[in-house]
Structure 1
Amino acid sequence: MKLDILAIGAHPDDVELGCSGVIIKEIKRGKKVGIVDLTEGELGTRGTVESRYQEAADAARIMGVHVRENLKMRDGFFQNDEVHQLQIIKVLRKYQPEIVIGNILDDRHPDHGRGGKLIYDSCFLSGLRQIKTLSNDGQEQEKWRPKYLLHYLQDRFYEPDVIVDISDVWEQRLEAIKAFKTQFYNPESDEPQTYISSPEFLESIISRARLLGKRIGVQFAEGFLSKKNIGISNLDALVLKET
C-alpha cells in the first residue's frame, strides 16, 4: 500500500500527542495515512506492553489510519545507527510516503530527539540507490525519499515553521489521545503517578493547541518544524485570514 503520509513516533502515543489532528484532517481529505511506532513503550511506568498495543489500535481506529505497525526497537536504548536506520529505510521504501511526520530533533525525553534524528537520517539515506534493502518477500526495494519531513512539537516548545488549523477535528483528536487511558489522567487508577498522568499535562496539550490556533486566527492548531524550506507554486496556496 502506497501512503500519502507516514507518521512515526518513538513511543506509542507520540504521534497522537504531536500530529493526530493533521492525520485526521488529511484522512478526511481522502489521503492514505499510516503510523509506525519505533518501540513498544515497554519502559513506561503505567500500563503494559499489551495495553499499549490495544490503546494504539483504539487510537488508530479513532483517527481512521490505514495501517499501523511497530518496529519493536528497544525503548530507551535504540540508537541512530546502521541497524536501526535500515529498519526505517525498509518501511519508507515499503510505503513510499510523500510526506513523513516524525519526532522533534531535541526534547526532554532522549528517545524523542534521538528518534527525530534517526528518522531524519533515514529519510535521506532511503533515497540512495546503493543502499540495498529487501522487502518481506525477498524482493529488492526501490529507493525512495519523501518530498518533505516535518517534526511535530513535543514537550519543549519551538517556534513552528508550519501551523495547521485543526479546529474542525479537535474533539476527535482529543479522543485519540485519551485512547491511551493507562497513560494519562485517570482518578480511578491506582498506578504510580507520572509526568504525563497529571490533569495538568493534558491541560498543557489543550493550551498549546489554543496558543498555536491564536497565532493563525483559529481555535486550535498543531505546529511543525522543517529543516527544508517549504515552497509554494503560487499565492493561492496561502489561506489569508483576518487577525
Structure 2
Amino acid sequence: MKLDILVLAAHPDDAELSCSGTILSHIAQGYKVGIVDLTRGELGTRGSAELRDQEAAASAKIMSLSVRENLAFEDGFFQNDRQHQLEVVKVIRKYRPEIVLCNAQSDRHPDHGKGGELAKTACFLAGLPKIETRLEGEKQEAWRPKNLYQYIQSNYIQPDFVVDCSDFWEKKVAAIRAFSSQFHTGAAGSDEGPQTFISTAGFIDFINARGREFGQHIGVQYAEGFTTIKLIGVKNIFDLS
C-alpha cells in the first residue's frame, strides 16, 4: 500500500498528541495516512505494552488510518544507528510516502529527539539505491519522500508553519483519550496508577491551549505546529494563509 503521508512516532500516542488533527484533516481530504510507532512504550509508568497495543489500535480506528504498525524497538534505548536506520528504511520503501511527519527536533523525553534524528537519517538513506533492503524476500526499490516535517511536542518550539485543525479537534481529543491508561479520561476506573506528567486532568487543557495558541496566529480556533529541515517553496503566494 502506498501512503501519501507516513507518520513516524517514538511511542504510541506521540502522533495523537502532536499531529492527529493534521492526520484527520488530510484523511478527510482523501489522502492515505499511516502511523508506524517505533516502540511499544513499555517503559511508560502507567499501563503495559500489551494495553498500549490495544489503545493504539483503537485510536487508529477513530482516525481511520490506512495502516498502523509497531517496529518494537527498545523503549528508551533505541539509537540512530545502522540497525535501526535499516528497519526504518524498509518501512519508508514499503509505503513510499510523499511526506513523512516525525518527532520533534528535541523534547523533554530523549526518545523524541532520537526518533526525529532517526527518521531524518532513514529518509535520506532510503533514497540511496546502493543500500539494499528486502521485505518478505523481495528486494525493495529506493524511495525518498519529497518532504519531512517534524511535529512539535511537549517543549515549545517556534513552528515554521501551522496547520488548521479546527474542524477535527474534538476527534483529535477522542484519539488521545483512546490511550486511557496514559491520560486522564474522567471515566470511572480508567485513571488508576501513579500520577505522571501527562496523566493529570490539566494535561488535556495544555494540549488545547497549545492548539489555540498556534491557531491564533493564523486566525483559526485550533492548529498544530511543524518545523522543517529545508526551505518550503510555493508557486503561488496566494496559497499561503
Q: Per-residue deviation at 1:238?
A: 1.9
2:233 corresponding residue in structure 1: 231
What is the CA distance between 1:235 and its match in structure 2? Answer: 2.2
Aligned partner letter, 2:67: V
**CA distance, structure 2, for counterparts of residue 153 and residue 132 of structure 1:** 32
1:219 maps to which of 215, 218, 221: 221
Would the aligned equivalents of 2:177 and 2:185 in 1 still touch at CA under 8 Å?
no
Taking the aligned partners of 2:144 and 2:231, their CA distance within structure 1 comes to 16
Number of the residue aligned with 2:170: 171
CA-based RMSD: 0.9
1:101 aligns to what?
101
Separation of aligned partners in 2, 1:114 and 1:73: 12
Q: Which residue of structure 2 aligns with residue 203 of structure 1?
A: 205
- 3-state SS in 2 of match to 1:92: helix
Moved more, 7-16 or 229-238: 229-238
Equivalent residue number for residue 158 of structure 1: 157
Report the Cα offset of residue 236 of structure 1: 3.5
Q: Separation in 1 of the partners of 2:210 and 2:185? A: 21
Percentage of matched positions with identical amino acids: 55
Give the drift of 1:162: 1.1
For 2:106 and 2:238, the matched residues in 1 are separated by: 34
Distance 1:106 1:211 in 2: 20
Give the SS at the match of 1:42.
coil
Partner residue of 1:50? 50
Residues 151-194 of structure 1: CA deviation (Å, up to 9, x unaligned): 00011111101101000111111100111011001464331111
Q: Secondary structure at the match of 1:197?
A: coil
Q: Which amino acid aligns with 1:214?
A: Q
Deviation at 1:148, TM superposition (A): 0.5
| Contact residue 36 and residue 70 of structure 2 kept, 8 A | yes
Q: What are the residue-to-residue correspondences of 1:68-217 with 2, within 5 Å? A: 68-136=68-136, 138-186=137-185, 188=189, 189-217=191-219
3-state SS of paired residue (2:134) = coil
1:29 is aligned to: 29
Deviations 1:21-77 (A, max 9, x none): 010010010000110000000001111111101110010000110000000000000
* SS of residue in 1 equivalent to 2:54: helix
Q: For the structure 1 residues 186 and 234, does the alpha-carbon distance in structure 2 shift closer, same or farther, using more than 3 Å as the test?
A: closer
Q: CA separation in 1, counterparts of 2:170 and 2:203?
A: 17
Structure 1 unaligned segments of length 5 or more: list them.
none
The runs of 4+ residues in structure 1 deviating greater than 3 Å are none
